Structure 1
């Protein structure tokens, strides 16, 4: 495919598009990693109560993604179908994320109600801005290689957001607590520290999403671009669309394992290794992902998209086994760091290609069934990922509760609680990553792509000519 197609996207727009993921990850990675520990160790809410929250959120996530997808397919504005959602929901999303790290002076029941409202609101609005991040990709360009580049730049910036702010979080909370909450016994649990840090991240998030809105353009126009695609027609895009089914399953199981690993990481380094500083260093290792993400376009050209993604998934699974080896060797730091480096390298090869595979599924649905429904097809990505992360969070909270975990100021836990933390940090993620790799073996979209793209390009040119003739 000629990379000099008329809809080639310039670097300014590539960066603007990438700011959408940078903005999302700036605060939502913090929610995914620290929300549970904030609830248990700062608010004093029992882990069992948070289990119910994750269960309810998983149910909501099974509905709201598809609803957002329908909204996108029915949206027709001068800005396009997907872009407006960044403008409309950037600030509300940031507000709910800040609420998730706010400790209001309420009773225990009141605190539970508060975190339910905050977390559910943040998750629902996350779908409202993140589904467009994926659904807009096939509208930005029809060039397959350019899609890989766009997704890679987006993932690079998204990982950079995590690389910058995840390792900064605990030190920043402690620093802020030292200035504004000097009476806090444990700065890492300071309600004031968490709130101010969340406000800072919320402002950055909203600003990035508004930059993404202002700097992108939906340029791939088809007969479905300027009309509201009804639900009954959108469903036809999924008929026989096995590349879509595979990537949706992967989204569920892979991100479920990711969520469990992220949420259990603070517990693992605090209570199993008694080394929170090492935990912050490990989170700083996210920067390694930037290098492997940057290599995705080059590796994908040689190995293909599927095999590149498969290499990353196998690597993440193996990294968990390395962490287990470190664990049975009394937390050997060198082996832990080896496992972490392998994890971040492998994760970088995987994350950038999921959105590309979903764009391929949009094309496949149009190619096979004649219906292009970007919002509906890609909405299941958010649905499956959020469902997986919601269930993952619920599973972790349940495992911790079953192990008898309770917040401890002296850093000690019972043997059963420590085993529960190990289960969350090592074994549940391993199962998710390994199952994802097996599922990906059945996706052969790379072999179909040349003919599919050629057929769709000819189809779109015919449709554009018909529109021009009608306007003339």
Structure 2
């Protein structure tokens, strides 16, 4: 049975292409859409901010809706895989639209970016939620799930690490190739469009590779029928592993969002060293190495304890940053804290999807209902909600501290209260999120229940097939 559920390396790599494909273009949308809209399309930043607010509301519900679609899907390809086939091209087209600048009157430009950006975000959920929901269907072997999730996380981070740094030089290159000169090359509409088309093609190829190269092999009664909403909800009854991981998803990523958003402020106004801030962002490559270690570490100390080590590490890294701050911004100590943070982050991210797969199994084991789409879709909901509220909290903290926004060509000296508000955002709010996540994770004992749970579910699934 273990051999039957073992996923070979070609399929592991095919599964990893799902996240690599998602991040190939969507990281570009998330990072550069604002600057494209303002500097290339000529749309006011306040209008784009309104778009972000509308999208945040849509994001808070679309994940659960996609989860219901997945649970009601019944095809010869399975429940989750078909979404990569059906929506890879529409997703790429909306992302390309997000970096297209048609010659339209002002109001219609606004309509264009609303349609393009909202479409890209909604369809991203439609292809990304299946990346998580398919995991419990790929294998019933707990350690194999860790390996699959790790390989996926590695390639997802790798995709962002490759294409984010290449974007601005590529836009400038294609802009110059088609006649743009000087600084205009980096904001060239044709440059952005060509680069988006290239990334869109890569994204489609990766998602179709994931579709063709994976197989939903854990066949159950619920995987061969449409699971109605009222039954899907039953999978959550008494499902405390699900409650814990959804809470962690909310509080951990909320802290992550506050830390990421406040980082540029901290290095600019507190340390007066923006160059160091850029260097710190480049340090995300460190996560690739620690992510690769997750299967080996979890094999010896378990999934929960591996994740706990990562969360404790992120909390300690925040305390190191506080120590460096008290020493007038000691750069060597800051770098120690940053390196520890990225190492620890790499140990955490890959295991959240695995913990959600455990919650799917637990829901079936306890309640007799296997609802992969519904159970895992709340991961998207809680993470987006946490990051959205995190941004609101940071804005409120900065406003309360009297932060003054800089304007082009002017130097701003922040007050002591504003600098303390920035410190709260960069050090203390994330620390609270990481500590709360550690405490919640201590109550998750699924690793101890897992051997019995796996045996019982395999027997149940074998009986269902024979029937």
- TM-score (norm. length: structure 1): 0.86
Q: Does the 8 Å CA contact 1:74/1:230 hold for their aligned counterparts?
A: yes
The answer for the alignment partner of 2:121 in structure 1 is 123
Cα 1:44/1:91, change in 2 over 3 Å:
same
The answer for the alignment partner of 2:226 in structure 1 is 228
The answer for the alignment partner of 1:464 in structure 2 is 465
Inter-partner Cα distance in structure 1 for 2:197 and 2:170: 12
Q: How does 1:141-180 map to 2 (within 5 A)?
A: 141-173=139-171
The answer for the alignment partner of 2:430 in structure 1 is 429
Cα 1:155/1:282, change in 2 over 3 Å:
same
The answer for the alignment partner of 2:351 in structure 1 is 353
Inter-partner Cα distance in structure 1 for 2:19 and 2:225: 27
- 317-326 vs 170-179, which deviates more? 170-179
Shift of 1:45: 6.0
In the TM superposition, what whole-angstrom CA distance separates every residue of 1:439-470 from its partner, at most 9, and x where no partner exists?
2122111111111111111111111111xxxx
Inter-partner Cα distance in structure 1 for 2:244 and 2:236: 12
Q: Does 1:254 align with 2:247?
A: no
- TM-score (norm. length: structure 2): 0.87
- 118-127 vs 442-451, which deviates more? 118-127
The answer for the alignment partner of 2:209 in structure 1 is 211
Indicate which of 279, 282, 290 corresponds to 1:281: 279
Q: How does 1:12-23 map to 2 (within 5 A)?
A: 12-23=10-21
Inter-partner Cα distance in structure 2 for 1:276 and 1:195: 30
Inter-partner Cα distance in structure 2 for 1:386 and 1:302: 32
Cα 1:263/1:93, change in 2 over 3 Å:
farther
In the TM superposition, what whole-angstrom CA distance separates every residue of 1:414-462 from its partner, at most 9, and x where no partner exists?
5267766655544443333332222212211111111111111111111
Inter-partner Cα distance in structure 2 for 1:48 and 1:358: 37
Inter-partner Cα distance in structure 2 for 1:119 and 1:235: 31
Inter-partner Cα distance in structure 2 for 1:37 and 1:418: 26
Inter-partner Cα distance in structure 1 for 2:194 and 2:258: 26
The answer for the alignment partner of 1:293 in structure 2 is 291
Please give the secondary structure, in 2, of the residue aligned with 1:21: helix
Inter-partner Cα distance in structure 2 for 1:429 and 1:32: 21
The answer for the alignment partner of 1:27 in structure 2 is 25
Shift of 1:301: 1.6
Please give the secondary structure, in 1, of the residue aligned with 2:159: helix
For structure 1, the residue ranges without an aligned partner over 5 or more in a row are: 467-472
Indicate which of 44, 67, 70 corresponds to 1:69: 67
For structure 2, the residue ranges without an aligned partner over 5 or more in a row are: none
The answer for the alignment partner of 2:375 in structure 1 is 377
Cα 1:13/1:200, change in 2 over 3 Å:
same
The answer for the alignment partner of 1:182 in structure 2 is 181
Inter-partner Cα distance in structure 1 for 2:167 and 2:300: 38
Please give the secondary structure, in 2, of the residue aligned with 1:225: helix
Inter-partner Cα distance in structure 2 for 1:33 and 1:211: 26
- 88-97 vs 48-57, which deviates more? 48-57
Shift of 1:182: 2.5
Inter-partner Cα distance in structure 1 for 2:424 and 2:448: 39
Inter-partner Cα distance in structure 1 for 2:389 and 2:150: 28
Inter-partner Cα distance in structure 2 for 1:431 and 1:287: 25
Q: Does 1:446 align with 2:447?
A: yes
Q: Does 1:334 align with 2:332?
A: yes
In the TM superposition, what whole-angstrom CA distance separates every residue of 1:211-247 from its partner, at most 9, and x where no partner exists?
1111111111011111101111111100000100111
Q: How does 1:384-399 map to 2 (within 5 A)?
A: 384-396=382-394
Shift of 1:208: 1.2
Inter-partner Cα distance in structure 2 for 1:340 and 1:294: 19
Q: Does 1:96 align with 2:94?
A: yes
Inter-partner Cα distance in structure 1 for 2:403 and 2:42: 15
Cα 1:452/1:419, change in 2 over 3 Å:
same
Shift of 1:37: 5.6
Cα 1:47/1:215, change in 2 over 3 Å:
same
- Root-mean-square deviation (Å): 3.2
Cα 1:50/1:259, change in 2 over 3 Å:
farther
Indicate which of 184, 198, 201 corresponds to 2:199: 201
